[in-house]
Amino acid sequence: MPKQAISDRYELLEELSSGGMGDVWRGYDSVLDRPVAVKLIRQASVTSPHLAEEFAKRFRREARITARIQHPGVPQVYDAVLDESYERLFLVMELVDGVPLSAYMDRDRPLPVSWAAAVAAQVATVLSHAHDVPVIHRDLKPGNVLVARDGTVKVLDFGIAAILRTDVTKLTATGSPVGTYQYMSPEQVRGGRITPQTDLYALGCVLHELLSGRVVFEADSEFQLMYQHVNAAPTPLRQLRPEVPEELEELVLHLLRKAPEARPADTQEVYARLLPFLPGPGEKSDAAEAAPSGAPDPTALFRHPYAPRPRAQAPASAGPTPPVPVPPHGAPVPVPAQLREDIEEAYAHSDALLEEERFAQAAEVLGEIIEPAALALGSESKQVLALRRQRAAIRLLGGDYRAALPEFDALADAYARISGPTGKQARACRAQAARCRAELGQVTEALATLQDVLNVVRTVDGDVSEEAVELRHNIGMLLLAQGRAAEARQVLEPLHQDICVVFGPDDEMAAEIAEALAVIRLGLDGGSSGSPS
């Protein structure tokens, strides 16, 4: 325990838990006079010194995105302290009085059905708010789910896996996987793209264990466990516990499907399918459904129920940019001196905010100048489109994919009207929209768009232009995430060769692709990846 307070503010009082990623302490905030939880990330988890600056930026970005989740089931993050040596990372959080869900897992005494359904429904509710940001947990497991004394379920460690990149399969020099994979989705095992459906797979693993007392797959080695997640069918719950309702068995099997897009559409669907197994308002608990001795009752919340936030409705327009007639023959409108000055000032202010990674504010600053600029110059003038494109790029960079997607779609249409659908700006916006869709779990549509754009780029600039390389990389990793290992290998192997020739084998993308190819060659897909080379 540090001898002095962290940042001259947070005192560590007693160790609460110790895990593979870090230790959690009961702490005290001397400034606000309140108890806190302080998580000390293990030194081995922090990146090497020469990547310290990149780690610090990633840490701040993920912490800010995670802080957008507004739900009582997510403990608030009060502060994040990365010391000057980059050797110690502290997260200061709300202190929750509760017990990890893992403490209640017992294969000899499976939990009551209503108890298990109530926990899963609360987790689904939390995930619905997170995915709306969108934030993907990436490491959902019983140890990260806390049952508070009042029965409220708290989901811990949002963003930690993304900050430390622990969800990416890592290989030793001998090609052996490292890490534990009891709750890891097939796309995570493969090292593919993570989507909200990744969390649904983990939720399926947790619900299976709640109802049966057993993990979905058991194996003597980590490789066998990885192989089972990618290829093996889970044992239906009713074979392990006959009294489990058939509808719950079907839900768990649906959550555990191998392909992300074959799982339930979203957490709202999961919640709706759990509702029949939850108590109604005012309903008293059943003695036959008694929870473990001394355990809190997670069904209590549903006796006064609350539901996940409504699904987001598609925005009526991409932004407050009313159409203004373009001058005859497309002649450009002269920019008034004051407006030009205001636009330059907005860019400068936004850029300064970006330097501090304050993405939401940077986008808002540009949004304030877009409407007056559109009124004066036209909604599809060069200056207004540039402002809208910069705002969309900032939203994408900040992880606000839902807001960025309709903006990029609208920009692609506008640039197509001006310069043609195959023009550089139109195809760039189409590609950015596809990347947003991929992040939101719309992988099939994203893949089709990226391939269409790549076909155009190849005819214009060839196969190794910066634009083509980025598109090929996106396509290969999306294919890998979908379990289409053979197709992914066909894309990634020649891409790796091209990058090594043009940029050298030490290029960051070359190293990432080499690792993905190593995962494919492990043969996790039952030979579908092709013969190892």
C-alpha span between 414 and 147 (Å, rounded) = 50
C-alpha span between 155 and 201 (Å, rounded) = 16
Alpha-carbon separation of residue 315 from 246, 318, 417 (angstroms)? 39, 7, 22
For 170, the enclosing helix (H) or strand (E) is strand 170-171
Rounded (10°) angle between helices 337-355 and 382-397: 10
C-alpha span between 388 and 363 (Å, rounded) = 9
Q: Are 16 and 26 in contact (CB under 8 A)?
A: yes
Q: Residue type for 111, please?
A: L
| Residue length of the chain | 533
Partner residues linked to 40 by β-bridges? 23, 90
C-alpha span between 273 and 154 (Å, rounded) = 21
Tokens representing residue 111 in the block: 């939990």
**Active centre residues (catalytic):** 139
C-alpha span between 45 and 394 (Å, rounded) = 29
Residue 310 neighbours by CB distance under 10 Å: 9
Tokens representing residue 518 in the block: 């190593």
